[in-house]
């Protein structure tokens, strides 16, 4: 029944999406005829709809539009739906335009895009609203057996109790045998929702054979109950019961977990960076578009800066320096040269005047900086060539600043986690005072950015960077 419900939900969503695609195509045809007075050949609309609908099914499946969202707090699929729409549209548009150069069809495509996305999002909102109402009424229930008696079990039961729209019914709770369970401060507390306490795992076979159970949720610490968990998994496997194991193998409170595969071998993957692969893809696309556009628009300014650097001090226009990028990969970062050519040699003489704590060297009145370089640094104009690094994928518009390898060698171990995200032109540190902030606080800001990353946060930081650059706040 559980598998059948999942398949039925996926089928209903797919039919709903395809109906939305058909409605969008029909409405787009009407809009084109009304606004231009032209009627495109029917074969063109039929071909476009057929290829777009087929592509929608494929791309939607790949982007997990039809996965079960039963326990999601708020099903949020707008980005996946948007990506699916434009990918499937691209297939249909390319095919039609290759076969016939149809004039004024841009109106058709624009109308289809707007209507298609609107119907998809609205349809899914209504679908999930009705589905949750249905589950609150006691329909479409998933019957689960919970194994364990610890804080994780209490948190799980509280979540199920507070969210009836999950449609999850707890059949009962089993604990480890008395000789294995040990004592826990929460063991005597009443369980949220007052589920049946069915004894120990010695009763598992009987309960599975006598009652209707869709899933078994195992919340026993694997490091303490390895042999028992293995026995539970084998028992459920023999009965054909879906089993979920809480992956609390180790005491880690920052890293998140997911299942990944290498060939046919599954791995429990721990990671600390963001998991939103689609959002990261969009972030990279934004980096490419913005950096390419900025390089084109700012090329006259960059040419003028290059000329000023060349004419006012001997040496190359660009300063090339090896920096540590994503996961410590080394790359050559570009800047307009703002120092005299012997700056690196003179740095040793000035170490006593370092105004930053930690392994970073900063000096407000650094004598190695040229007069033109001082202006460039104040308004961050020396950083403009790093748009090339962004375009190449070595950096991003927003991210922790890339350190030099010598600084990384002096990091405390926890500080190395800032290398787990692609470095950027700006981040929280840049908009919060820059050189006026201590090194430890700077590292904590970068880690906070990584832990709370989103496209919205990037957008906010980019906006906050503009006044900082224009006023030269915190620069030296």
Residue 90 has a pLDDT of 87
3-class secondary structure per residue, the chain: CHHHHHHHHHHHHHHHHHHHHHHHHHHHHHHHHHHHCCCCCHHHHHHHHHHHHHHHHHHHHHCCCCCCCCCCCCCCCHHHHHHHHHHHHHHHHHHHHHHCCCCCCHHHHHHHHHHHHHHHHHHHHHHHHHHHHHHHCCCCCEEEEEECCCHHHHHHHHHHHHCHHHCEEEEEEEECCHHHHCCCCCCCCCCCCCCCEEEEHHHHHHHHHHCCCCEEEECCCCCCCHHHHHHHHHHHHHHCCEEEECCCCCCCCCCEEEEEEECCEEEEEEECCCCCHHHHHHHHHHHHHHHHHHHHHCHHHHHHHHHHHHHHCCCCCEEEEEEECHHHCEEEEEEECCECCCHHHHHHHHHHHCCCCCCCCCCCCCCCECHHHHHHHHCCHHHCCHHHHHHHCCCEEECCCCCCHHHHHCCCHHHHHHHHCCCEEECCCCCCCHHHCCHHHHHHHHHHHHHCCCHHHHHHHHHHHHHHHHHCCCCC
Architecture of domain 142-251: 3-Layer(aba) Sandwich (3.40)
Are 282 and 255 contacting, i.e. CB atoms less than 8 angstroms apart? no
pLDDT band at 212 (very low <50, low <70, confident <90, very high): confident
Q: Residue ranges per domain, the chain?
A: 2-136, 142-251, 277-471
Residue 4 has a pLDDT of 42
Asked if pLDDT for residue 220 goes beyond 90, the answer is: no
What's the start-to-end Cα distance of the chain, in Å?
67
pLDDT band at 253 (very low <50, low <70, confident <90, very high): low
Question: For the residues 440-451, what does the mean pLDDT come to?
Answer: 90
Question: For the residues 225-248, what does the mean pLDDT come to?
Answer: 83
Share of the chain above pLDDT 90, in %: 20
Residue 337 has a pLDDT of 92
pLDDT band at 268 (very low <50, low <70, confident <90, very high): low
Question: For the residues 232-247, what does the mean pLDDT come to?
Answer: 82
Long-range contacts, 289-293 (Cβ 8 Å, 24+): 290/390, 290/397, 291/387, 291/388, 291/390, 291/391, 291/397, 292/391
Asked if pLDDT for residue 94 goes beyond 90, the answer is: no
Residue 111 has a pLDDT of 84
Distance (Å, whole) CA 395 – CA 373: 23
The token pair at 207 is 């309960």
**pLDDT mean across residues, the chain:** 80
Distance (Å, whole) CA 86 – CA 409: 45
Reference 77, options 93, 60, 94; nearest CA is 60
As beta bridge partners, residue 109 has none
**Contacts of residue 290, Cβ cutoff 8 Å, sequence gap at least 6:** 390, 397
Residue 397 has a pLDDT of 96
CB neighbours (10 Å) of residue 71?
13
Distance (Å, whole) CA 52 – CA 388: 36
Reference 144, options 67, 190, 212; nearest CA is 212
Residue 2 has a pLDDT of 40
Question: For the residues 441-454, what does the mean pLDDT come to?
Answer: 90
Reference 353, options 459, 458, 476; nearest CA is 476
pLDDT band at 1 (very low <50, low <70, confident <90, very high): very low
Q: What is the CA radius of gyration of the chain?
A: 29
pLDDT band at 68 (very low <50, low <70, confident <90, very high): low
CB neighbours (10 Å) of residue 388?
16
pLDDT digits (tens, 9 = 90+) for 20-40: 888 888 888 888 788 777 666
The token pair at 129 is 């609203």
- The most confident of the ranges 42-46, 75-79, 150-154 is 150-154
As beta bridge partners, residue 322 has 332
Asked if pLDDT for residue 449 goes beyond 70, the answer is: yes
Residue 263 has a pLDDT of 56
Distance (Å, whole) CA 302 – CA 299: 5
Q: Give the predicted TM-score (pTM) of the model.
A: 0.58
Residue 71 has a pLDDT of 59
pLDDT digits (tens, 9 = 90+) for 293-306: 999 999 999 999 99
pLDDT digits (tens, 9 = 90+) for 140-176: 778 889 998 888 888 888 888 888 877 888 888 998 8
Identify the weakest region by mean pLDDT among 238-242, 274-278, 345-349, 470-474: 274-278
Reference 394, options 320, 255, 287; nearest CA is 287
Identify the weakest region by mean pLDDT among 222-236, 273-287, 388-402, 420-434: 273-287
């Amino acid at each position: 029944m559980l598998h059948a419900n999942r398949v039925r939900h996926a089928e209903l969503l797919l039919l709903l999406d395809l109906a939305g695609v058909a409605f969008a195509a029909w409405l787009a045809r009407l809009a084109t005829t009304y606004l231009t007075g032209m009627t495109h050949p029917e074969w063109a609309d039929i071909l476009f709809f057929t290829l777009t609908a087929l592509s929608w099914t494929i791309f939607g499946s790949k982007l997990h539009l039809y996965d079960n969202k039963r326990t999601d707090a708020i099903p949020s699929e707008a980005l996946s739906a948007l990506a699916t729409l434009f990918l499937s549209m691209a297939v249909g548009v390319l095919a039609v335009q290759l076969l016939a150069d149809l004039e004024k069809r841009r109106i058709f495509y624009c109308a289809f895009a707007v209507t298609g996305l609107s119907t998809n999002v609205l349809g899914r909102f209504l679908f999930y609203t009705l589905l949750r109402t249905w589950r609150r009424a006691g329909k479409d229930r998933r019957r689960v057996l919970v194994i364990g008696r610890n804080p994780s079990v209490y948190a799980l039961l509280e979540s199920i109790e507070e969210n009836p729209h999950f449609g999850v019914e707890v059949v009962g709770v089993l604990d480890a045998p008395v000789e294995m369970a040990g004592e826990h401060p929460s063991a005597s507390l009443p369980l949220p929702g007052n589920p049946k306490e069915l004894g120990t795992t010695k009763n598992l076979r009987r309960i599975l054979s006598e009652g209707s159970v869709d899933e078994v949720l195992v919340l026993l610490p694997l490091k303490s109950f390895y042999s028992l968990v293995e026995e539970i998994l084998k028992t459920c496997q023999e009965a054909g019961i879906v089993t979920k194991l809480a992956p609390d193998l180790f005491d880690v409170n920052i890293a998140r977990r997911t299942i990944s595969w290498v060939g046919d071998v599954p791995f429990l993957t721990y990671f600390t960076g963001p998991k939103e692969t689609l959002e990261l893809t969009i972030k990279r696309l934004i980096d490419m578009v913005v950096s390419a556009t900025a390089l084109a628009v700012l090329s006259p300014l960059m040419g003028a800066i290059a000329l000023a650097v060349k004419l006012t001090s001997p040496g190359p226009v660009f300063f090339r320096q090896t920096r540590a990028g994503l996961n410590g990969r080394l790359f050559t970062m570009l800047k307009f040269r703002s120092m005299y050519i012997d700056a690196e040699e003179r740095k040793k003489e000035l170490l006593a005047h370092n105004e930053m704590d930690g392994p970073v060297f900063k000096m407000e009145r650094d004598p190695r900086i040229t007069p033109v370089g001082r202006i460039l640094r104040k308004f961050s104009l020396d950083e403009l060539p790093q748009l090339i690094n962004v375009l190449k994928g070595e950096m991003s518009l927003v991210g922790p600043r890339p350190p030099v390898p010598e600084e990384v060698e002096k990091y405390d171990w926890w500080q190395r986690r800032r290398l787990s995200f692609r470095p950027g032109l700006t981040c929280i540190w840049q908009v919060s005072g820059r050189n006026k902030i201590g090194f430890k606080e700077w590292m904590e800001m970068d880690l906070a950015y990584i832990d709370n990353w989103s496209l919205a946060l990037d957008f906010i930081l980019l906006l906050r960077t503009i006044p900082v650059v224009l006023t030269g706040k915190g620069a030296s």
